[in-house]
Amino acid sequence: MSRSVLGRAEEGARPARLDRDRGLVEAARRDPSRFDALYRKYLAQVYSYAFYELRDHHAAEDATERVFMQALAGLPRFEERVDAFIASRAPANPAEAADISTFRVWLFRIARNVVANERRRDRRRPVSSLEAAAELSAPDDVVDTATTREAVSEAWQAVARLPEDRRRAVILRFVDEMSTSEIAAVLDRSEGAVRVLLHRALRSVADDLASGERSGRRGRLS
């Protein structure tokens, strides 16, 4: 398939939108050792995604390694398709259009497949809870720590209870800060479907929080 952005720019038909990672991607294509910049930029995002999905630091590290190795090997085949992406997804606002990275979408599609394979392989292995995996170090300020732990724990528990597709959308939205159109591209869903997934996920979390409060009140009263 041709590289649409370059082609259109050369034709001069209209100004092509540029992928925000274009410079880094082009540098890495010319010299694979320059892939390091892309790796450093997206390491935490990919690792977080893997960690929230697999709930285990070791498994997340394995998955992260596979993702970046596959990305390095596949970089020559990566196609920057910002214009096609924008045309098909029609982002809601201009800022989103200016901030699109098809490389990130491509990377997360690799991550999605790697994590899915990892989950299939380790289905029989029990997974630790997200809260246990996210244990924070002992702090000086007991009140602040209790607040943080409680907030993190409640959020993680609520997310862990979500069905797989909603949880994935929530992680990409809240942890990796992707737009609806990016999530749609990563998950191979329509934007409308992603919107509904997120809305339903938040509805479930809201119900969870409400029932948690009710049981907390009952606990305090008894």
**Where on the chain is the footprint of other proteins (CB under 8 A)?**
31-33, 35-36, 39-41, 43-45, 47-48, 51-52, 57-58, 60-61, 64-65, 68-69, 72-73, 92-93, 133-141, 143-145, 147-148, 151-156, 158-159, 170-171, 173-177, 179-180, 192, 195-196, 198-199, 202-203, 205-207, 209-210
Which two tokens mark 57? 């630091």
Which two tokens mark 118? 């990892």
Which two tokens mark 99? 């901030």
- Judged by beta carbon, residue 10 or residue 140, the one nearer other proteins is 140
CA proximity to 44, closest of 173, 180, 185, 175: 175
- Judged by beta carbon, residue 53 or residue 80, the one nearer other proteins is 53
CA proximity to 165, closest of 186, 134, 150, 137: 186
Contacts of 107 by beta carbon, 8 Å cutoff, 6+ apart = 42, 46, 67, 71
- Judged by beta carbon, residue 62 or residue 122, the one nearer other proteins is 62
Q: In angstroms, rounded to a whole number, what is the distance separating the alpha carbons of residues 148 and 154?
A: 10
- Judged by beta carbon, residue 16 or residue 178, the one nearer other proteins is 178
CB of 221 to other proteins, least distance (A): 22
Judge contact between 208 and 183, C-beta under 8 A: no
CB of 66 to other proteins, least distance (A): 10
b or e along 152-162 (b: 16 or more beta carbons within 10 Å of the residue's beta carbon)?
A: ebebbebbeeb
CB of 153 to other proteins, least distance (A): 8
- Judged by beta carbon, residue 57 or residue 109, the one nearer other proteins is 57
CB of 222 to other proteins, least distance (A): 25
